[in-house]
Amino acid sequence: MRAYDIIKKKRDGGKLSKQEIEFFVNGYVKGDIPDYQAAAFLMAVYFSKLDMDETLALTFAIRDSGDKVDLSQIDGVLVDKHSTGGVGDKTTLVIAPVMAALGYKIAKMSGRGLGHTGGTIDKLESIKGFNTVLSKERFIDVVNQTGLAVIAQSGNLTPADKKLYALRDVTATVDNISLIVSSIMGKKLALGSDCLLLDVKVGSGAFMKTLKDAKELATQMVSIGKAAGKKTVAFITNMDSPLGNAVGNSIEVIEAIETLKGNGPTDLTELCKKMAVYLLKANGESGDLEKRVEDVFANGKALQKFTEMVKAQGGDENEIKNPELFPKAKYSKDILAEKSGYIVKMDTEKIGTVALILGAGRAKKEDEIDFSAGVYFYKKIDKINEGERIATLYTNQENTLETAEKAFREALTVADKPIEQLPIILEIVD
């Protein structure tokens, strides 16, 4: 078997066997297949596409390319949630403690932000002392002790994905659904949870811009999850405006805390509650599931779980109990409406870029983050009056405010008439 023949076969529209895909992936990880052949393979896949059998084989090859996380020492049913990335997406900070309060276990590895999308690890590291790098033994101990733990991706987990993704990023082959599916699901299946909820974002702030593409992505991921023996459900959710009101790091943590107290924004609260209900359903639970979910918000158990996790991972629990203790940005600027009307459209990706300009994100992996920087919204797709505050920008770099305000205003479209708002949950694929 030769890499050349596999590339040529896919280039010409042929169907690759499981053995051919495994040979190519394993050879690339070992260094037997060079980058230039892997780049040619990715481009062949990009144009000729993979069918479902090939996508499944590629996913499993990525899953099996390195270490798997053995979670058998964790007592209870393990659930996981993955988002395809968006702006203001702090659902993990809410749904994980909610599920822990409902008696499930969450052993989650999350990523850092890059570009216009934020990262859960960056948000958690805005909590003083919070440690996202734990040994496997400590990771399992924290989950057994508190019901949940969230750490950074580490070790030799799916090395094939790391190598292939880096190559896709520089060869213009990122936006291929089979490659996206195998990347996401390869990592998720290596983690070994029993049940997986996928949050597929669609809209101006998401990688998937159309509902058609988002549904295809969701359907393929659910199919692969079930083929791997995992209970899997996908939510297709609206990212035509930021999720919640806060975009940044510490300000998103504060918003998550308020949501767990029952004081969160409507869209974030609705999404997290419905996700929790579906995770209960996926695990065969019945009865008044909505009430069970409502109760862990109302009685404080979900917030208690979040506080326990923060303490167990070295974070300052006082910041969770008193969010005003989070460090504040030195500079702020209110964005006021220049005329009356209706905000009818947001370029949500550009809003994410505004947060990046202010220091809340990173353009390159080595960039440092300003945890207190970000954007807080008072109005999204809504009616506005001249002079009314739309949002506030926060930063420790005063010289960024003018550029950030200009980019923010360019991201909004104001009209004389309102539009019908889409719901937060557009479709559920199970």
pLDDT in tens, 202-226: 998 888 889 999 999 999 999 999 9
Q: Which one of the listed residues 82, 112, 162, 305 is annotated catalytic?
A: 82
pLDDT in tens, 185-195: 998 898 888 99
What mean pLDDT do residues 219-241 have? 94
Go through 86-113 and write b for each residue having 16 or more CB atoms within 10 A of its CB, e for each that does not. Answer: bbbbbbbbbbbbbbbbbebbbbbbbbbb
What mean pLDDT do residues 20-24 have? 97
Q: Which one of the listed residues 126, 178, 182, 183 is annotated catalytic?
A: 183
Distance from C-alpha of 166 to C-alpha of 179, rounded to nearest angstrom: 12
Pick the CATH number of 3-49 from 1.20.970.10, 2.40.160.40, 3.60.10.10, 1.20.950.20: 1.20.970.10
pLDDT for res 342:
97
State which amino acid sits at residue 364: K
112 annotated active-site = no
Distance from C-alpha of 9 to C-alpha of 377, rounded to nearest angstrom: 51
Helix (H, G, I), strand (E, B) or coil at 67: strand
Residue 44 phi/psi, 5-degree rounding, is: -65, -40
Strands (E), 244-369: 246-248, 331-336, 341-346
Distance from C-alpha of 358 to C-alpha of 258, rounded to nearest angstrom: 24
Distance from C-alpha of 389 to C-alpha of 377, rounded to nearest angstrom: 9
pLDDT in tens, 243-291: 999 999 999 999 999 999 999 999 999 999 999 999 999 999 999 999 9
Of all residues in the chain, the percent with pLDDT exceeding 90 is 84
Q: Which one of the listed residues 63, 105, 163, 168 is annotated catalytic?
A: 168
Residue 74 phi/psi, 5-degree rounding, is: -90, 125
Of all residues in the chain, the percent with pLDDT exceeding 70 is 98
How far, in Å, are 77, 193, 204, 305, 306 from residue 107 at the CA level? 10, 8, 31, 13, 13
Task: Provide the 10 A C-beta neighbour count for residue 317.
Answer: 17
Structural domain boundaries in the chain: 3-49, 79-174+189-321, 328-415
| Mean pLDDT of all residues belonging to the chain | 94
83 annotated active-site = no
What mean pLDDT do residues 90-105 have? 97
Architecture of the domain spanning 79-174+189-321: 3-Layer(aba) Sandwich (3.40)
What mean pLDDT do residues 173-202 have? 91
Q: Which one of the listed residues 187, 188, 305, 333 is annotated catalytic?
A: 187
pLDDT for res 115:
61
116 pLDDT band, cuts 50/70/90, is low
Distance from C-alpha of 239 to C-alpha of 229, rounded to nearest angstrom: 30
pLDDT for res 110:
86
pLDDT in tens, 136-156: 899 999 999 999 999 987 778
pLDDT for res 390:
98
Which residues, listed in sequence order, are joined to residue 392 by a DSSP beta bridge? 334, 376
H/E stretch holding 38: helix 35-48
Closest by Cα among 256, 365, 272 to 310: 256
H/E stretch holding 266: helix 266-282
188 annotated active-site = no
183 annotated active-site = yes
Indicate if the pLDDT at residue 60 is higher than 80.
Answer: yes
168 annotated active-site = yes
Indicate if the pLDDT at residue 32 is higher than 90.
Answer: yes
What mean pLDDT do residues 123-141 have? 94
Which bin fits 280, alpha (ψ -120 to 50), beta or left (φ > 0)?
Answer: alpha
365 pLDDT band, cuts 50/70/90, is low
Architecture of the domain spanning 328-415: Alpha-Beta Complex (3.90)
Residues 339, 349 contacting (CB under 8 angstroms):
no
Distance from C-alpha of 318 to C-alpha of 326, rounded to nearest angstrom: 10
